[in-house]
Amino acid sequence: MSNNQGSAEGFGRFPCGRIRPRPGNRREFLQSVGAGFGALALGDLLAADGLVAGGGTGGLPAGPHYRARAKSVIWLFMEGGPSAMDTFDPKTTLDRHHGQLPTQGIDVFFGNPGPLMRSPFQFAQYGDSGTWVCDRMPHIARHVDRLALVKSCYAESPSHGPAMYQMNTGMIRAGLPSAGAWVTYGLGSVNQNLPGFVVLQNSRGSKGGAGNWGAGFLPSDYQATAFRSQGSPILNLARPADLDLTRQRRLLDQARALNEEHAARHPGEESLRARIQSYELAFHMQAEATEAVDFSREPAHVKQAYGLDQKVTRPYGEKCLLARRLVERGVRFVQVYCDDEWDSHDKLREGHGSRMAETDQPVAALLADLEQRGLLEETLVVWGGEFGRMPVSQSGEGRDHNPQGFCVWMAGGGIQGGVHYGETDELGWKAAVNPVSVHDLHATILHCLGVDHERLTYLHNGRRFRLTDVSGEVIRPILA
């Protein structure tokens, strides 16, 4: 067996034996290819009916490991590292000792730390849960009783690139499968005309690039497909003007036959199967993906709720609305990046204030819209960045990177609303009570989807890998 072949332990994915092709005539070839098309079509139909999970290469037996509370995930990735003490976790100690040097040495990424710095924002408590929320997020504040706030997260790297990789793949190094790839590998997509994993990117480019949503050593058809929220969702998706539907289908069938023949002669080459799947998916997406990004039929009040009528909120509002439309159509995993970063090394009031102005209303609208449509119960919403910020000042009124203590919140499928878990120390520097690792976060996401993080594995280079590597515990106190 090739080192790149894999199996999902507990899901019944079996290694494929090598096939030694024998010479055959044209009729035998066409018969075998036709049978292969029938099997693939049957697999798609069974997946669509929920009798088989997974798509792409191989497929998986029916059902997750246990009852799933969530069917899909929308991950609102706040790239750049939002500050916990300036969003959801204010620290009175910083108010009292603002401008003073800390009594303990604090290691910062860029060096030369300043004195302790209080938040430049005001806070109030909201909801029955009494959750503290910054005054720049009045819309999210109305939904705090739907949120589970995890205030004791920690990661390993203070550098954006490795930290982004860890939050997305579980490891600080590049080349590993992302969480979305693992989820679609394990569960597939409900809608066979759309990708199982979609990313709505940072328009300026994310640190680490496509490795944040790549498939790593998993078959390449599990990597994310990048969508745009305006115009054609994918560049070059439309059929050329001189190519009609019948001719295009005939060309695809011919290409698929040749690719199937080549795949039969090279067993274990997953990229060949992924190529066949990508052609078919692109063909089906020409109609459905274009419809998914067409907001023209959305009621005016819905578009207004997402802030599409305002210049500041429109970019992120379009992404959040598209995320809802995608999960509504069966996309399993959608990751939504903001266009600007939370990386406020100076002018934190301006930087964080702008990010909150851009995202507060759209995120709140997404939560309300999902609930109104009955989708929040089956959609897990995750909010957070790759790390947090330091309690000491930098460049006057900024904060340096801090992977040792930050917050993430979850809502929706499988999550108990209005709960708080964990604490950082009195300064907001380090996770102090019930520390939560990135692997714990990933284990919890998989759990809500009905997947045991220890059993979803892939054999690569002689070792069974998993999203949570060799650790990770589900954060059970936040579960519904």
**pLDDT, one tens digit for every residue, the chain (480 residues):** 334 444 444 343 323 333 344 445 545 444 444 444 443 343 443 444 333 444 333 334 345 899 999 999 999 999 999 999 999 999 999 999 999 999 888 989 998 899 999 999 999 999 999 999 999 999 999 999 999 999 999 999 999 999 999 999 999 999 999 999 999 999 988 888 889 999 999 878 899 999 999 999 998 889 999 887 555 566 555 556 665 667 656 766 676 677 777 677 777 666 666 666 665 565 556 657 788 888 999 999 999 999 999 999 999 999 999 999 999 999 999 999 998 999 999 999 999 999 999 999 999 999 999 999 999 999 999 999 999 999 999 998 999 999 999 999 999 999 999 999 999 999 999 999 999 999 999 999 999 999 999 999 999 999 999 999 999 999 999 999
pLDDT of residue 406: 98
Record the tokens describing residue 302, joined without a space: 């819905």
Residue 66 placed within a domain = no
Total number of domains in the chain: 1
pLDDT of residue 245: 63
Beta-strand (E) ranges in 54-200? 72-77, 123-126, 131-134, 147-153, 197-200
Residue 341 placed within a domain = yes
Residue 229 placed within a domain = yes
**Structure letter (DSSP) for residue 455:** T
Residue range of the domain that includes 166: 72-233+281-478
pLDDT of residue 315: 94
Record the tokens describing residue 217, joined without a space: 């050593």
Q: How crowded is residue 28: how many other Cβ atoms within 10 Å of its Cβ?
A: 11
Residue 456 placed within a domain = yes
Query: What's this model's pTM, rounded to 2 decimal places?
Result: 0.82
Cα separation of 197 and 179, whole Å?
10
If residue 379 lies in a helix (H) or strand (E), which one and from where to where? strand 379-384
pLDDT of residue 272: 63
Residue 109 placed within a domain = yes
Q: Are strands 406-412 and 147-153 parallel, antiparallel or unpaired?
A: antiparallel
Residue 454 placed within a domain = yes
pLDDT of residue 18: 36
CATH assignment of the domain containing 195 = 3.40.720.10
HSE, CB side, 13 Å, CA atoms: give it for residue 467: 32
Residue 415 placed within a domain = yes
User: Could you tell me which residues are beta bridge partners of residue 133?
Assistant: 124
pLDDT of residue 52: 40
pLDDT of residue 30: 45
**Per residue in 325-343, is it b (16+ CB within 10 Å) or e — as a string?**
bbbbbbbbbbbbbbbbbbb
